[in-house]
Amino acid sequence: MTDFEDMKSKWQALSNAQPSDNIWKGLDAHKKSHLYKLRRTFILLTILSAVCCVVVPANMLGLGMPLWIVIVTCVYFGACMMGNLKLKFASEDVDIASSSAADVMARVERIMRWRMYMKWILLPVAIAIIGMILYYVSSDPGAVTGGVTGGVIGFAIGYRIDQRIKRQLRSIARDLESA
Amino acid sequence: MKPDFDSIVAEHSGLINKVCYMYAEDSHHLQDLRQEVLTNIWEGLGSYKGDSKLSTWIYRVAINTCVSYIRRYGSRPDSYSLDTVPPGELGSATQGEMTTDAMLAEMYSMISRLSRIDKAVVLLWLDQYSYDDIASLVGITKANVAVRLHRAKQRLANSEI
């Protein structure tokens, strides 16, 4: 097919025919959309961070851990809470049903990028805090090693997923630059 | 009165299928996109006020869903590339099914190489939407629509086998 105009004239006839019914089997309209699930995740993480901001440092003080670690932990959970709250509000601004494609793309790209930056800044801090807690409460070096190793492996798996997401975000950003 | 969801999907399944197929990389991705579009139509139906044609509204939801879908995982072992989709999946015409399937697959293959926004522009243009409507749906200027179409035509012409 060499002619673009020829393609257009054939397009209607070719593409508006109904697909076979079996394509629609197994699709469930009552599932929640990806955006809805994302919003729900941000709300849950905000609440969890707020609770941990108080509960975890209180327990650490009770265990007699150094004050500076307690403060770092409190600040960490506070940052998690504020970050997830910001993402929750940002995701509520995405309106698939009435916005333009470029607007939706830009908002989703921003949310996913913030989320990635948050993970990459806060995750290493979390691993360090967990390592310190394990050091202070555990008399078993094996438990400390296991905990930190598990954290590092989880970090590596998340890194692979995020690299894929990052490639898509770069392609979206390039597309939006010329919009 | 809120439109009936089942009848809407039945009437516009060709349109939804077309948009999803344009953006899908493989069969699993296609199924994910269809599911996501269907869910977004379901969730957004309450906000449809009838200020545009229903088909235009569904086009908007389908395109917005596809352009903003971020895939966390790559192709799965049991997925197949859409270059080899069996006949009937694309909604082929009743006459000469293999020939029309092949033509449609070729069109999709060429257009699928474009960027997300360019795909949306070309898709809407192929479906006879005006430059004004395309600009409004995609969120770019009318001049940008013309430039993108011109560039897409050149790229598609140069990519001929």
In a domain? residue A164: yes
- A51 has a chain B CB within 8 A of its CB: no
Phi-psi bin for A101: left (phi > 0), alpha (psi -120 to 50), beta?
alpha
Cβ distance of A175 and B118 shorter than 8 Å: yes
In a domain? residue A98: yes
Is the predicted pLDDT of residue B96 greater than 50, yes or no? Answer: no
Give the class (CATH, top level) of B96-161.
Answer: mainly alpha
Q: How many CB pairs under 8 A join A and B?
A: 171
- B153 has a chain A CB within 8 A of its CB: yes
Distance of CA B145 to the CA centre of its chain: 17
Range from A18-27, B92-101, B110-119 carrying the lowest mean pLDDT: B92-101
In a domain? residue A20: no
Which of A8, A23, A102 is closest, CB to CB, to B139? A102
Length of chain A measured in residues: 179
Is the predicted pLDDT of residue A74 greater than 90, yes or no? Answer: yes
- B89 has a chain A CB within 8 A of its CB: yes
Residue-level pLDDT at B102 = 72
Using a CB-CB cut-off of 8 Å, the residues of chain B touching A171 are 115-116
- A103 has a chain B CB within 8 A of its CB: yes
Mutate: best of A2, A23, A37, A174, partner B, most B CBs <10 A: A23
Which of A14, A100, A174 is closest, CB to CB, to B137? A100
Beta bridge partners of B81: B26
Domain boundaries, chain B: 1-73, 96-161
Cβ distance of A10 and B36 shorter than 8 Å: no
Residue-level pLDDT at B93 = 43
**pTM beyond cutoff 0.90:** no
Task: Give CATH for domain B1-73.
Answer: 1.10.1740.10
Q: Chain B, 102-121: which have a CB under 8 Å from a chain A CB?
A: 103-104, 106-107, 110, 115-118, 120
Which of B43, B63, B91 is closest, CB to CB, to A33? B43
In a domain? residue A159: yes
In a domain? residue A1: no
- A2 has a chain B CB within 8 A of its CB: yes
CB atoms within 10 A of CB A148: 16
Beta bridge partners of B26: B81
> pLDDT tens digit string along A11-27?
766 555 555 555 555 56
> pLDDT tens digit string along B1-56?
556 888 888 888 888 888 998 898 888 888 889 999 999 998 888 888 888 889 99
More confidently predicted of B138 and B89: B138
In a domain? residue A166: yes
Is the predicted pLDDT of residue B156 greater than 50, yes or no? Answer: yes
In a domain? residue A49: yes
Cβ distance of A97 and B9 shorter than 8 Å: no
* Rounded Cα–Cα distance for residues A165 and A173 (Å): 12
ipTM reported for the complex, 2 dp: 0.81
In a domain? residue A52: yes
Mean pLDDT for the stretch of residues B88-108: 58
Using a CB-CB cut-off of 8 Å, the residues of chain B touching A94 are 68
Nearest CA to CA, how far is B58 from chain A (Å)? 8
Taking CB atoms within 8 Å and a gap of at least 24, the contacts of B42-45 are B42/A29, B42/A30, B42/B5, B43/A32, B43/A33, B43/A36, B43/A97, B44/A96, B44/A97, B44/A98, B45/B2, B45/B3, B45/B5, B45/B8
Is the predicted pLDDT of residue B77 greater than 80, yes or no? Answer: no
> pLDDT tens digit string along A101-115?
999 999 999 998 999
Instruction: Domain of residue A127: give its range.
Output: 33-177
**Domain count of the fold of chain A:** 1
